Structure 1
Amino acid sequence: MALIERQEELSCLERLIAGAALGEGKIALVSGPSAMGKSALLDALAERAIDVGALAITATASRMEQGLQLGVLRQLIQDAPLVPAERERAERLLEEGRRSAGERAGSELLLEEQVVHALITVLLEQSERYPLVILVDDVHHADRASLICLAYMARRVRGAKAVTVFAHNDGYAHDDLFGTDVLRLPHCRRLRLAPLSRRGVAALMAGRVGLGAVDRFIDEWYKLSGGNPLLAAALAEDHRGRLRTADAPPSELVVGEQFDQAVRECLRRAHPRTAQVAQGLAILGTREGLEELLGLPGFDVGRELDAMAAIGLLGSGTFRHEAVRSAVLAGTELGRRRELYRGAAELAYTRGLPPCVVADLLLHATGIDASWVVPTLEEAAMIALREGRVEEGISYLKLAWRQCADESRRAEIMTMLVRAQWRLNPAAPAGHLDLLAEAMTNGSLRGSDAIVLARALLWHGRFDEAREVLDRLISEMDAADHETRAELLVTQLWLRATHPPLVARTRYPRKADVLAGMVSGAVSRRMESTLALAEVVTRGPRESSLSTVERILESTHLDEMSMDVVENSLLALTYAGRCGLAAPLCDQFSAEASARQAPSRQARLAAIRAEIAIRQGDLPAAERHARTALETIPMSSWGVAIGGPLASMINALTAMGRHDAVREYLDRPVPKAMFQTRYGLHYLHARGRHNLAAESFTLAIHDFLRCGDLMTTWGLDNPSMIPWRADAGEACLRVGQAEEAMDLIEAHLAACDHAAHRARGIGLRLRAAGAEPQRRPALLRQATEYLQLAGDKYELARALSDLAEAYDALGDGRRSRTIAGRALAAAEECQATPMISALSRATEADDVPAPLPAPLPGALIDALSEAERRVAALAAAGYANHEIADKLYITVSTVEQHLTRTYRKLHITGRADLPLIQEFGNRP
């Protein structure tokens, strides 16, 4: 194979052979960084020697054979075409020399001069027959006895028809005889091989991967290889390997196993100190500190860094590619690597480098018995978790737990570990709960850390064990610090809203007592958000509490302590009917959870977002978010909280008429313990809604009443959270139990407070279903107003559909068609297929179906005055002029004037062309 960019050196050596044929013996010393093609050059010279009638004898020294005295010289003699007598004589001399070297080990005079002279004479006598070319590769690895002989031969070769060529790597010349005797000889010629140029690398690659790939990747190949032929050839092999396995040519640079092996081979061929410095650099990542880490003088370190740069491994003082660093580390023996990491960790700590830098080194080091190790790992873990590097934080905490000898401290670290693992998957820390329970028993776990254990046990449905933990904490409450007392109060409120059966009758701290002391901002936020949620689900929303959680959400980030605050606050707003505010906040926190690599938090927020979407009537969004929640972490990891996302999925699919898909989710097993939680209430209600839609009325009534019994027993009987009476009343109406139905519906309406717009709208729609035909339109118009305020598009579509039927029953076809068109538009927006089908059939039954008014530009609606908007919204809902006048306390004439101006501003001809009433309500 033709040599690339080595023709000048090869021609020079060929001229030396030509001169040797004339009796001009020469020496050539070929040097350069490792893997620069010196061996290939010697191989090519051996072939040329044969072509011109010269005799080439070769030897290759090896680091592994340096202890074998005269090993290199033996190779040369064995390769020489000696006659039997000469060979026998040479073998005797080699044995004599080996014995002499053994006897004189450590002496300057390692071999007898007569033996050296006789051995070299055997070789040089061959030049009397034909020109002789003696080639010794990797001479820097030759044993000392052979080096003595080769140096002697270098002096003798001048008067013979012989050329002696020695190849050695840079970095060794100062250690061997060639740095002293040989280079001073007048007949010595020195040749140094430089890295290939960009053109040379292109030529090498073209012969292996083709010109097309060269045109695309040459700049990257040249930069990464540094002109080293071995590295460049390895990159070509990696590229070809990808071509063999891929469907299309690689679109990016391929750096694979061949390149890794080439890097290790370069270091294997280099000076041992070069590999040592490479290993240190791979550990530290920077030149700073290498002297201390390796125990080498700065001059030596600098020289080896220069050697690595010459080889092509470094560029601008750092490894050219992460693959180079990885290959260096992989080629370092494990024990040596761990010791280097240990030294680097100690050095980094001494230098005051950031905790995460020190912790990363500690992860790979042998154990360090120092007081600073565990605190450094804990600090690094907190930083990593705060920055969203969850897996790194977990690794630090695991090592800190293993390194820590204090049992109380170990329990605290394990609690931090449980919190961190929870971000990725709530099932991950389940294996640690027994260890924490044991620490609780022996007194090593206490305070807020014990509350973390209780919450984790509750998530996994281990209620009895959680109760034991909480009972023990409460029994020790008088001796507890103020933060622990505050956390106990937060836990009581949270249990009240989420696990009502577990609210112990024992004495929890009073809120007044807790607030009388100082608590941290984090605890204060948890207290306020949990209190708001507990108030909403037990007594209904309180304006002051909701204002507080709004403020909290606007200033809280998803750090390692705030997920409960975010979750409780969002749910409080959601159950209070403030979904329009909760939705964008939930989206904001979901994006943050995704950026922080917190799948568990992503899933929990997706579950909340699905619940919000259900209450907004956005069925496709509810399905999408519920699916995200169920797929981001496995269902088995959800514990008792699985009822939340499952309920949203079942509700969404039911309303969209996808009953086969619903059954798939209903068939999935759920924990029995779930039905002792708020999540179980949502699941029962959703299952009841599905049974109602599937006309399994008895099952539906059973689910609704069971849900209601639990809510009543637990003190959570709030129709804004779950309107179980309204749904049970609808099921009773469907089976003809009118009296029972109306009792349930009236009880539902009586339980609605003034802010429960969604619940009141649902109740009024059902009250209309049981009322006289003449009363139904008025009740349904009221229902649409409340549902418009609530922002629930699906329930609004149901109310509009019922209103269209009510007008049709009274013979008011014009109003019926107008309202039916609006109901159909709303149902299509929700993708509520059953309602769409029913409304489509109703509108198609008419000879001339009423066209749906198209949404109007916002600028037109903005042109309306506040009074005109109120009148237009009521007119669009189907109210007559005198009803609008009574409702707004104005005259009929004023209503007519407002409508006339509205038609003119909106460029429409009458109330049948009024846009959907949402457009009025959504304007500022």
Structure 2
Amino acid sequence: MAPPDLPLLERDREQAVLSAVIGELRSGRPALVTVTGEPGLGQNELLRWAADQARKRRVHVLSARATPAEHELRYGVVAQLLASHDRDLASRLFVTSQRPGGLPGLNHLLTACRDRPALLVVHDVQWLDPASLRWLEALVRRLPRAPVALLTSTTGTAIDRPEWSVGTPLTGLASTIELALPPLTAGGVAAAVRAVCGFGDPAFTESLAETTRGVPAIVHEVLRRFARTGRAPRAEHVEHLRALTAEVVGDHAARALSELRDPVAVDVLRALAVCGDLLDFPLVCTLVGPHPVPETRLRATLRASGLLTGRGGSLGEHDGVVRARILEEMPADARADLYARAARLAQRVAVADQGIAELLLQARPVGEPWAVDTLRRGFTAALRSGRRDRATAYLARALDEPLPAGERARVELQLASVQMVTAPAAAERRLHGLVRSADTREGLRSQAVDLCLLGGDTRAVRLARPAAPGTLRTAAAARAPAGAVPRSGQRLDPIDADNDAITGERDELIALLRVARFLRHDESCLDVHPAPPLPEHSSSPAVAGVRAWEHAVAGVHLEASRQLARAAFAPDPSGRPPLVTPRLFACRALFLTDDGDEAEAHLATLLNEAHRQRAAIAIAHVLAVRADLHIRHGRPDAAARDLAAAEAELPLARLHPLFVPYWASLNLVADLLNGRADRAREVAARPVPSLAEECATSAYLLFARGVLARSEDDPHRARAFFRACGRWMLHYGCVNPAVLPWRSLAAEAAHALGDDEEALRLSREELRLAARWGTRSALGRAELGLAVVIGENRAEHFRAAVATLSESPARTAYTRAVLELASAESAEAERRTTLALTSRAAPTAGDIAPGRLAGLPQGAPAPTAVPPGRGTPALHGAAPRVRQRPKAGWPALSPAEHETAVLAARGLGNREIAAALSVTTRAVELRLSGVYRKLRIRGRDELRALSHGPEGG
């Protein structure tokens, strides 16, 4: 059990004042002391302590307590005061008719106090009945003539305010003191914890002080209940402490509510619980209806109960708990009606949209157009502030209002676009309902399927069942108005409109079905019909976008693919709203046609459109595709920023398994290019869902893992990953090497392992397919891959690759081609120098002058700088070198060090070198340290100078 003086913590000053008043009272000096403060701060406990101290000093103590139940009982408090002094007089107060100016028992009490000082203690004077109030005011006026002290407590605002407040001339020469009690400080709360539960963690004490606001009554009760659980005051129990605090605050609110006897005050309190923060107190009172109670009296009554604070008439700090306790006893229908009336009033006085939307969440349907408009504006505002759960609640509430069919479908679609991130299963159910029931002319079915594909649901498009071409005219005629007969040679406009709408929807659904087939190749299932081919002649931008992608992945019709991708962004001739997924695939087709700048502009348009529509899932996918573009164009920093923004919109935990491999591959490659090899390895080792292994995007993750293995000089694993990537790409019909150049990288791995036959086969196959496709990027990468693995004329092949890639956006591949060309030219120069020296030594000894070899230059030959496994095979019949390579200088550098040194000498930074060589920045630093040590130089300036000398040149 808590010690009895626990509520008097940090009340030393007040106790000292009361002790002084009692001491002066025994000397015949009267006093008037008022202890005030919010409910629960310990006013009544302080009065009880003062009464005990007075009794110990042999002061006569008379005490009484005013209550809301006795507010209308005449002389209720006076009877309690006089009961111990004159029981017969106290009992007669309730039956004696009141005479004008009569103050029963007052003179008798003052006469008795002349012989013995008296302390009158009155608790909660805010509930004084009017007769007792006048009696006490008369006593106060007579205080200077008697050794009597009046000690009262109040919550600060009485219903009928006493006139003995500080500074009034009513008290005369008597000492008048007002003690305002503050809440407990953090130190006081910590002392309370030590007194009840022992020493507590700082986090526990801080949480208790925050949730209880330092109110001693609440602190005492919370600690008492917490001590009963037997738990220690530790940080791990903070959540349980918060729950206990909410329970105690609710109990205090329920107790205060039960003490309110005025039904008008109860109704006003409920109205305040509904909209007290949105409307002023006078407006809140109008929700109750006509009543005879003045506003000032209502306000005073509610403040006296402790349920209303002095800040303009609100419900205090613990609004949520107090509101719930106030409203929980109302019938559900009455509560919903009160919220509806409050929403109407708030709408009339132009309250902010989100405030009205909060009221409408709990209200019954109001059946007025402004309700739906307000909820939709509140939805937009909530999304803007990042409150997605609240935004979905607003739109779900809007669906409870009566809406036209088309408007209801649009609200359903908007709600599903947000629920795709917060509640994917609910969004899919909602979208499937739209796919089955939405009107064709609105384009909502296609938009619903498009949204499903962004969420990874490939089944929705099969639910739509695209109409067959032969049924279009029949279906349109069935929708024509009854009795509408066309004239000779004239067609009905409604039928034509419906026919165009059905045709447009059919084309869009076929295009989306082809996308679903590409994402997840499940046509082997018996209950899945094969995807129909795209219409040959269609004006639908969706068909154009998907056809551009299909041409691009097949590696045929370059110019047609480029034109179709551009057509995907043209407005639909029939005015149908544009779809997101086909345009994303059109952007990816533009990647492959080397029109990256144009694709980036279209992606910016898509991103702005998605932001306007507050479609988080569309924003995330657009950012991911733009990150892919940044990686292809050698901008890994920008790719990392876009990927981080995409994950902020769509967390990885909510990402559909079909897209997990694609996003993981982008993160892996971006981390690797940015020098974060450890993070790249973590991404590569992260398990993927089982469903992700059944989709086309798995090839991207296999390719990225192969790139990681290649950067770690592990050709065995690299070739395995690139082969698996190729099998998966071919399974989904991806032949174009511009999508993923897996053949050339698998060829390099095979060449490093000594399998030159496979390396040449794969390289030549990629070169043939790249030439058929015709873009500079694909052809340059294929030429570079062939140059790496071929044994003859390597420098010529590298020069061809550099020339091709110099006009392409593939800057990373171009940098690598330049490096490889420099290494090949260095090897070629070394080979020619060796052959020249050998040819001079070939004649007979008689042809050589004495000392000829001794007079040869002693400088080191040019470095080889060819990566391991990539060197030019020794020419048959070539003479051996004249002498051994020296241990110091350029020839002492390893191929990796030589590549790094060449780039550093050209002015590239460590991060740029790491991106070009696909290694970490730490690896670059280590390589440069080795270069400086072997070349016996001190930095980049000397390296740059040395690179132009006889050794480095």
TM-score normalised by length of structure 1: 0.63
- Give the conservation status (yes or no) of the 8 Å contact 1:139–1:166: yes
**2:848 aligned partner:** none
- CA–CA separation in structure 2 for the residues paired with 1:328 and 1:488: 56
- Give the conservation status (yes or no) of the 8 Å contact 2:63–2:81: yes
Query: What is the CA-CA distance between 1:406 and the residue it aligns to?
Result: 6.9
Q: Secondary structure at the match of 2:397?
A: helix
Q: Is 1:828 paired with 2:914?
A: yes
Q: Is 1:776 paired with 2:794?
A: yes
Higher helix share: 1
The letter for the 1-side match of 2:827 is: D
**2:862 aligned partner:** 814
The letter for the 1-side match of 2:284 is: L
Unaligned runs of 5+ in 1: 21-25, 101-108, 211-224, 248-255, 515-523, 553-559, 857-902, 915-924
Q: Is 1:289 paired with 2:283?
A: yes
- CA–CA separation in structure 2 for the residues paired with 1:569 and 1:387: 32
**1:764 aligned partner:** 783
- Give the conservation status (yes or no) of the 8 Å contact 1:31–1:168: yes
Equivalent of 1:612, from 629, 641, 644? 629
- Give the conservation status (yes or no) of the 8 Å contact 1:646–1:665: no
**2:61 aligned partner:** 56
Q: Secondary structure at the match of 1:823?
A: helix
* 1:73-152 pair list within 5 angstroms: 75-76=80-81, 80=84, 94=91, 127=113, 130-142=116-128
The letter for the 2-side match of 1:783 is: A
- Give the conservation status (yes or no) of the 8 Å contact 1:209–1:236: no
- Give the conservation status (yes or no) of the 8 Å contact 1:820–1:843: no
Q: Secondary structure at the match of 2:443?
A: helix
- Give the conservation status (yes or no) of the 8 Å contact 1:594–1:602: yes
**1:740 aligned partner:** 761
The letter for the 1-side match of 2:659 is: A
Query: What is the CA-CA distance between 1:347 and the residue it aligns to?
Result: 1.0
Equivalent of 1:639, from 657, 665, 671? 657
- CA–CA separation in structure 1 for the residues paired with 2:289 and 2:26: 46
The letter for the 1-side match of 2:127 is: H
**2:425 aligned partner:** 430
The letter for the 2-side match of 1:135 is: V
The letter for the 2-side match of 1:133 is: L
Query: What is the CA-CA distance between 1:796 and the residue it aligns to?
Result: 3.5
Query: What is the CA-CA distance between 1:509 and the residue it aligns to?
Result: 9.9
What CA deviation, in whole Å up to 9, does each residue of 1:242-261 have, x standing for no partner? xx8789xxxxxxxx979979
- Give the conservation status (yes or no) of the 8 Å contact 2:31–2:149: yes
Q: Secondary structure at the match of 2:326?
A: coil
Query: What is the CA-CA distance between 1:763 and the residue it aligns to?
Result: 0.7
Query: What is the CA-CA distance between 1:400 and the residue it aligns to?
Result: 2.0
Equivalent of 1:381, from 379, 388, 391? 379
**1:796 aligned partner:** 815
Q: Is 1:720 paired with 2:738?
A: yes
**1:471 aligned partner:** 466
* Change in 2 beyond 3 A, CA 1:301/1:497: farther
- CA–CA separation in structure 1 for the residues paired with 2:139 and 2:294: 34
What CA deviation, in whole Å up to 9, does each residue of 1:15-67 have, x standing for no partner? 777558xxxxx896959675598647755764664476420121222225658
Q: Secondary structure at the match of 1:283?
A: coil
- Give the conservation status (yes or no) of the 8 Å contact 2:361–2:394: yes
Query: What is the CA-CA distance between 1:760 and the residue it aligns to?
Result: 1.6
Equivalent of 1:362, from 349, 360, 363? 360
- Give the conservation status (yes or no) of the 8 Å contact 1:54–1:132: yes
What CA deviation, in whole Å up to 9, does each residue of 1:781-834 have, x standing for no partner? 222344454344267336624751564266265374599767324653456349
Q: Is 1:392 paired with 2:386?
A: no
- CA–CA separation in structure 2 for the residues paired with 1:403 and 1:205: 49
* 1:475-874 pair list within 5 angstroms: 478=476, 480=498, 489=507, 492-493=510-511, 496=514, 499-500=517-518, 504-505=531-532, 511-512=538-539, 537=553, 539-540=557-558, 567-568=584-585, 571-577=588-594, 600=617, 603-605=620-622, 607-616=624-633, 633-634=651-652, 637-649=655-667, 661=681, 665=685, 667-671=687-691, 674-675=694-695, 677=696, 679-683=697-701, 685-686=703-704, 694-695=715-716, 699=720, 702-710=723-731, 712=733, 717-727=735-745, 730=748, 735-737=755-757, 740-741=761-762, 743-753=764-774, 756-769=775-788, 771-773=790-792, 775-788=793-806, 789-793=808-812, 796-797=815-816, 800-801=819-820, 804-805=823-824, 807-808=826-827, 811=831, 814=862, 816=864, 823-824=899-900, 825=903, 828-830=914-916, 832-833=918-919
Q: Secondary structure at the match of 2:119?
A: strand
* 1:302-451 pair list within 5 angstroms: 304=299, 323=317, 329=323, 332-334=326-328, 341-365=339-363, 368=366, 370=368, 372-382=370-380, 384-385=382-383, 389-404=387-402, 410-422=408-420, 424-425=421-422, 428-438=423-433, 440-441=435-436, 447-451=442-446
What CA deviation, in whole Å up to 9, does each residue of 1:841-879 have, x standing for no partner? 9997999659899599xxxxxxxxxxxxxxxxxxxxxxx
**1:219 aligned partner:** none
- Give the conservation status (yes or no) of the 8 Å contact 2:672–2:920: no
Query: What is the CA-CA distance between 1:491 and the residue it aligns to?
Result: 5.2
- Give the conservation status (yes or no) of the 8 Å contact 1:540–1:718: no
**1:897 aligned partner:** none
What CA deviation, in whole Å up to 9, does each residue of 1:287-340 have, x standing for no partner? 683343454799726994999799998788587x99465576456334667665
- CA–CA separation in structure 2 for the residues paired with 1:335 and 1:830: 70
- CA–CA separation in structure 2 for the residues paired with 1:438 and 1:546: 31
Unaligned runs of 5+ in 2: 1-7, 192-208, 227-232, 237-244, 477-496, 524-529, 572-576, 833-860, 866-889, 904-911
**1:455 aligned partner:** 450
Count of matched residue positions in the alignment of Structure 1 and Structure 2: 777
The letter for the 1-side match of 2:60 is: L
The share of aligned pairs that are identical, in percent, is 17
